[in-house]
Chain A
């Protein structure tokens, strides 16, 4: 006889069974996802840490987002993304150790290193262990044949510099330029290519050898003789985000009234805190996104990044791209998941909608600069700092 009590008991048991099956199903679906490890080797401590930290945080934000949405389908399998990080402390020896660690973990795609000497140092390891890596470093030798495993993750200074100088020459009447750089390989090479570009444009270079130690805290003595040369434009070659506000502030306080620019990305909050209104008018390469060109996906990325880490870094607009390119290229050719030769083949023809910028596509570029497609196509946004925020000066593209 079926009474009310047994009916309730049966219903309860049925509900519990259903929930258990549903939960089990969900769990097994989750468990079915494979793991795709993507590496990061770069600087996340010291004065240049802002570059590497924004890099790794962008990757972590995007990976969490994709995993939350159920993972990434590549071929027949769905993968959860795991970011494996290594702080090379801006030391080439540690960068090599980091790349070796990635190889030991079976990782084929690594973002970084962030600086020239680190990126050059890891090349033998990457090539011998079958790793494609995405440096934020500018030496052309890394991207031109016979090198083929490095893919430049951003716009190089020798691509943005000439564009900026040309714009300032034509629009702001710049004639005399002075360069200053930290006494380190990246800034020095950026300075040299900047000097060459300026001379090619017919600008008079009044200072091209001035350097400073990267750990300088007071730039007044460094800038005093340069300011006395009265250049129209002061270029801070390869300037680290930590040093930019100090240099700007010292130059302005010494009475310099000309333009100041840099070909590296900067952080608006750092500029505002360090130089305040003295940084108004400072021109730099922005974070590859402006309110006009960004899509709702980029808006959500910024929102998620801010919630996850408490504060957004404008440069992450650039750094979000590397992971996206890796995943989309693997989607286009699933065989590349553990075969970088397949990845290289796909790069020549790869194209996908850019989720972060309107009317834009993800594609590999660099044919003009490197003779092969070894660069991510990231919008070249040149910005001017004003009252705590970057304003777009112009947007360009590298071919």
Chain B
């Protein structure tokens, strides 16, 4: 059981990090970013190229992944989402735009990086072995980094000026504007930050799970699942959703294994029941 808990905690930490960027973008702009998984994949490929191919240090690759995606996210917000949000009253427009972006990125990455699964050398070797738990050191490291990043992100949102501005935006866009918050600037910063998180976590996990151009969609689905569990647009909810999903997956795969592949069937059934009782998720209120 200790092994199952350790697996669940590790999965939860990485899932929470994936969900954070998605929930941030949703909170700020009310945009369901279907391209979040593709942004993760792009981050993975940047790290693969810089660390795996060019043999530069992993930290450099991780920073490049974050910066690349931040720029990409900022540009996406400015030139795609902002005009659509301004001109269209219907939320479906931004959803369609996000879906189109996802398909576009899938196709571009397939052309640029090919169809193969790509991986990079381990960032740290060795495995921690005890009587009850076996965990490779690189997973422990990634788990710790993920938790540190989550903590840093929460501190940034809580105490920095941009963080406060984004929280105000998420609470009430019009009121924030009336209070002098530059809506367009902070929307762009928020989108860039969300994309950066996707890129960094993609870069971080490429050292463990590798990356290929077809995995963006399934990653987005899992991220949505976590956000729905925790409550859309709530940072704490995304983190809780990530850990809950990670733990459910780990326990389900062990406890239910003799019944076949029904873990996600059970998770989805539980989610349906849960949402019928709490349609806004665990912490389903606007951020604040």
Contact = CB atoms under 8 A, between A and B. Distances in A.
Interface of A: 44-47, 49-50, 53, 183, 209-213, 215, 217-218, 220-222, 224-225, 241-243, 245-246, 253-255, 267, 269-270, 273-276, 311, 313
A319 B218 CA distance: 29
B209 A217 contact: yes
Contacts of B249: 221
A305 to B, nearest CB: 14
B136 A273 contact: no
A273 B115 contact: no
15 contacts: A47-B212, A50-B115, A218-B209, A221-B250, A221-B253, A222-B253, A225-B253, A245-B117, A253-B134, A254-B134, A255-B134, A273-B117, A273-B119, A274-B118, A276-B121
B211 to A, nearest CB: 9
Contact of A209 (B110, B120, B258): B258
A50 B250 contact: no
A44 B115 contact: yes
What size tier do the contact residues of chain B reach? 35 or more
Contacts of A213: 218, 261, 264
* Most chain A beta-carbon neighbours within 10 Å: one of B119, B215, B250: B119
* Most chain B beta-carbon neighbours within 10 Å: one of A50, A213, A224: A224
B129 interface: yes
Given A253-B127, A253-B136, A270 B260 contact: no
B286 interface: no
| Interface of A, helix, strand, loop or mixed by DSSP | mixed
Interface of B: 3-4, 7-8, 10-11, 14, 52, 106, 110, 114-122, 127, 129, 134, 136, 139, 205, 208-210, 212-215, 217-219, 249-250, 253-254, 257-261, 264
A221 B257 CA distance: 10
Contacts of B118: 270, 273-274
A202 B94 CA distance: 59
Contact of B7 (A47, A224, A275): A224
Contact of A45 (B127, B129, B214, B254): B214
B261 A274 contact: no
Contacts of A255: 127, 129, 134
B218 A215 contact: yes
A241 B117 contact: yes
B3 A224 contact: yes
B257 A210 contact: yes
A286 B70 CA distance: 42
Contacts of B209: 217-218, 246
Contact of A47 (B11, B205, B215, B250): B215
Nearest to A214: B218
A211 B262 CA distance: 9
A64 B248 CA distance: 52
A47 B3 CA distance: 29
Nearest to A270: B117
A50 B116 contact: yes
Given A47-B215, A215-B218, A221 B7 contact: yes
A273 to B, nearest CB: 4
A225 B254 contact: yes
B120 A273 contact: yes
B2 to A, nearest CB: 11
A376 B209 CA distance: 36
A245 B219 CA distance: 19
Query: Which 10 pairs across A and B sit closest by C-beta, in order of nearness?
Result: A49-B115, A215-B218, A242-B117, A274-B119, A46-B214, A211-B261, A273-B119, A183-B261, A217-B209, A221-B253
Contacts of B119: 245, 270, 273-275
A215 B134 contact: no
A53 B258 CA distance: 35
B126 to A, nearest CB: 10
Contact of A211 (B52, B139, B217, B260): B260
A213 B10 CA distance: 19
B115 A224 contact: no
Nearest to B212: A242
B247 to A, nearest CB: 10
A255 B130 CA distance: 11
Contacts of A275: 119
Contacts of B208: 218
Nearest to A222: B253
A308 to B, nearest CB: 13
A75 B136 CA distance: 63
A225 B257 contact: yes
Contact of A218 (B3, B11, B117, B127): B11
A217 B129 CA distance: 22
B106 A45 contact: yes
B215 A215 contact: yes
Contacts of B218: 213, 215
Contact of B261 (A47, A50, A212): A212
Contacts of B117: 47, 50, 241-243, 245-246, 270, 273-274
B202 to A, nearest CB: 11
Nearest to A223: B253
B116 A267 contact: yes
* Most chain B beta-carbon neighbours within 10 Å: one of A212, A213, A242, A276: A242
* Most chain B beta-carbon neighbours within 10 Å: one of A53, A215, A276: A215
Given A47-B214, A50-B116, A215-B218, A209 B260 contact: yes
B11 A221 contact: yes
A50 B117 CA distance: 8
Contacts of B259: 209
A275 B219 CA distance: 21
A45 B110 contact: yes
A86 to B, nearest CB: 16
A241 B212 CA distance: 11
A220 B209 CA distance: 11
Contacts of A44: 115
Contacts of A245: 117, 119, 210
B115 A45 contact: yes
A273 B134 CA distance: 23
Contacts of B106: 45
A153 to B, nearest CB: 19
